[in-house]
């Protein structure tokens, strides 16, 4: 089911999320996927953005023009970043901050643990995963900028 995306300053966006209940995951993933696919240029979405404070997110950059390599649709349940490599600043938008873009420094490559599975992500996929994981910790791109000069607005 397509859900409404919460926007800043909704309090759920600012809190650290808990592990999801097992019986919550399937429905939450369906709602995240339906909602993400309904939004133009949406490369990821986290559960708190649809009002669920659970450590679940999706990322899919397979159609992003800057995606050099990717893992397809990534289901992130209780994800953990094991390692980070390289740093770069890139411009990010957020469905929960409509019209706002921010220049954010992130790792260029990350090594993830997703339950019993491990994955490497790089480039735009690594950036999208880190962005969604921030949502699970109550962190927004506004919290990641170096100064107000890193903010940009679109109409």
Lookup result for tokens 């260029």: 108
87 located within any domain: yes
Exposure string for 110-133, b = 16+ CB within 10 A, e = fewer: bbbeeeeeebebbbbbbbbbbbbb
Cβ neighbours of residue 146 under 8 Å, at least 6 residues apart? Answer: 103, 105
Catalytic residues: 132
Residue 125 token pair: 């996929």
DSSP-H helix ranges across 14-98: 22-38
User: Mean pLDDT, to the nearest integer, of 92-107?
Assistant: 98
Task: Please give the pLDDT value at position 12.
Answer: 99
- pLDDT at 68 (0 to 100): 85
How far, in Å, CA of 121 to CA of 143, rounded? 23
| 5 located within any domain | no
pLDDT at 69 over 90: no
* 117: enclosing H helix or E strand: strand 117-122
* Domain membership flag for residue 3: no
Whole-model pTM? 0.97
> Model confidence over 122-155: pLDDT tens digits?
999 999 999 999 999 999 999 999 999 999 999 7
Total of domains in the chain: 1
Q: In this structure, is residue 6 part of a structural domain?
A: no
- Partners of 81 in the β-ladder: 112
| pLDDT tens-digit series, residues 26-66 | 999 999 999 999 999 999 999 999 999 999 999 999 999 98
Is 142 a member of any domain?
yes
Supply the pLDDT for residue 155.
74
Residue 4 domain-assigned? no
- Report yes or no on 77 lying in a domain: yes
Q: Is residue 1 part of a domain?
A: no
- Is the CB of residue 121 less than 8 Å from the CB of residue 1? no
CATH of residue 142: 3.90.45.10
In which domain, by residue range, is 45 found?
A: 11-153
* Closest listed residue to residue 14, CA positions, set 42, 43, 49, 39: 49
Report, in this order, helix, strand and coil percent for the chain, each rounded to 5: 30, 35, 35
């Amino acid at each position: 089911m397509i859900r409404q995306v919460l926007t800043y300053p909704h309090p759920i966006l600012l809190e650290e999320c808990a592990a999801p209940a097992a019986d919550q995951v399937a429905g939450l993933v369906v709602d995240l996927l339906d909602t993400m696919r309904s939004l133009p240029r949406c490369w990821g979405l986290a559960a708190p953005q649809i009002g669920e404070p659970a450590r679940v997110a999706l990322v899919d950059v397979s159609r992003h023009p800057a995606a050099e390599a990717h893992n397809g649709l990534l289901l992130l349940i209780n994800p953990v970043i094991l390692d980070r490599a390289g740093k770069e600043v890139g411009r990010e938008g957020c469905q929960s901050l409509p019209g706002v873009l921010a220049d954010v420094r992130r790792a260029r490559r990350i090594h993830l643990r997703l339950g019993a599975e491990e994955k490497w992500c790089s480039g735009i996929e690594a950036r999208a995963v880190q962005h969604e994981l921030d949502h699970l910790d109550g962190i927004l791109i506004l919290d990641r900028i170096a100064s107000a000069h890193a903010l940009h607005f679109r109409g």
